[in-house]
Amino acid sequence: MVTKLAENSTDYKSSISSSSGFDYETQTYHSLRQPPPLQLPDQTTPLSVTHYVFTLYNANLRTNNNSSSNNNDNFLVDAAQRHRLSLFQLQSYVTRLSSSLRDNIGLKHGDTAFILSPNSIHVPLLYLSLFAIGVIVSPSNPTSSPGEISRQMQLTSPVIAFATSETAHKLPSLKHPPVLLDSLQFHSLISTPHSELSKQDRVIIRQSDVAAVLYSSGTTGRVKGLWFRVVAMCTVPFFHVYGFFYCLRCLAFGESLVLFSKFNFQLMMKSIQQFSVTNLALAPPLVVAMISNSIGDYDLRSLQVVLSGGAPLSIPLMKKFNTLFPNVTLVQAYGLTETTGGVCRTVGPIESKRLGANGRLTYNCQAKIVDPLTGVGLPPFKHGELWIRGPSIMKGYVHDEMASGAILTADGWLKTGDLCYFDNEGFLFYVDSIKELIKCNGYQVPPAELEDLLQSHPDIVEAAVVPYPDEKAGQVPIAFVVRTTGSIIDESIIKEFVAKEVAPYKKLRRVSFMDSIPKNATGKVLRKELVKLSLSNGTSSRL
């Protein structure tokens, strides 16, 4: 899919409910964030991401009298490799690298660069350098197979690839030889002196230009194409929309960013203590790990905010986290690759106490809850498909007009495919993916509802619910469960526990025990794998 830079949204209407943000005339929800919608630059305004990031940071720095505490040597930190970059080094390297990529390699405005690398301090440096000269950034999962990589590159037609010595063997040949981020060549590119561009030679980058091509997770098919001292830590891969924009956000706001080229949980906990991390970006599996592992040996007093994104976090898990970390605000958000990241989020400790909520609509965004059968917009508390419209919605899927037309309406709405609702205070609640609803005897069973119930049991760490074919009912719900260490809870106890709390058609027909639930990089349950597993194992209760 293709992301685009911001554009102005529709006019703000004073008739909108001040409590829910719902307009009963248009059946549209509007953002309750203050101030009202921001006036974004015109589509023809020349402004690159890089220029914006450094202009914003330098303005903040001047406002704060060039405080040396903000321009420190730990602006970018690789906790695993012990590599560090100061803000001054980052700006210098970006200037040199962008000039080298343009003058020495020959990259130009409109070219696409494919990036196949694990997280490192070189990746955000590369992103900003490519943005500066108008090159489209296309990052991919370094664990992808050569076949998957080949299909992605056929979509985007990159002229060059940036990789590492461990991933380069997966790349096909391109117009330019690949550049390895861990090579002497790359070091030379960021070290070569540069000459200032004349005004006529400077690249003009419009707001309407394509900035990046990001790949969706592929869980439903083939991949588609005021100043605060903050220390942020990102454990999310930079090729994913979550990590991609979290990284850019930290750079724009001048926040020190701690990352991991090679991740392990103990290193994360030690690094929170060592670098006095205040803000931590996680996928749900690591939230589970923080709950499940002993943390007594670590000093986490600096930690203020944990952002969980990429997949829903259940209410029972949120309650457990809040009990263990009462002084940390656990933030949830809602977004897709197709929305260029979060379009709803909780802000501050008060909103974050609304357990199960994915927050309120962000600035300049609108939403609808649409009845999947009638297409009618629905008021608060009614369940329907979530539609989103705003400046961050993708341009479309690369070279796939049919798929783009199926998800994007002519007037700019993106159909998310998710069953959701808003409450009367404008908070969004995710119910489940419409495609994943289990059809049992004509009723719809949301797997997430049963998963939340299962995870409320003290002997269950994680759970996933999927459909299983049944001749009479069509489909029935079955569960995969991860027990707490030492638990002897069995299938009959779990089935009885659920049966007491749900309608008959929602009862579990089978429970299988696993050591871990299969998930993708951002914590989404790989339900297709579980469905295949259930079919291949028949009626076995231990998989």
pLDDT of 151-171, one tens digit each? 899 999 999 999 999 999 999
The percent of residues above 70 in pLDDT, for the chain, comes to 88
Beta bridge partners of 527: none
In this prediction, residue 199 has a pLDDT band, given cuts at 50, 70 and 90, of very low
Instruction: Return the residue matching tokens 């590159």.
Output: 153
Tokens 């992808």, located at residue: 144
Joined tokens for residue 485: 């260490």
Quote the tokens at residue 210: 């394509």
Domains of the chain: 2-33+264-433 (3.40.50.12780), 49-71+86-213 (3.40.50.980), 437-536 (3.30.300.30)
Prediction pTM value: 0.80
Q: CA–CA separation, 162 vs 139, rounded Å?
A: 9
DSSP reduced 3-state for 322: helix
Are 479 and 512 spatial neighbours (Cβ–Cβ below 8 Å)?
yes
Residue 247 has pLDDT above 80, yes or no: yes
In which band, very low, low, confident or very high, does the pLDDT at 9 lie, cut at 50, 70 and 90?
Answer: very low
pLDDT tens, position by position, 305-339: 999 988 888 888 899 999 999 999 999 999 998 99
Residue 77: strand pairing partners = 84, 258
- Rounded to an integer, what distance in angstroms lies between the CA atom of residue 57 and that of residue 72? 13
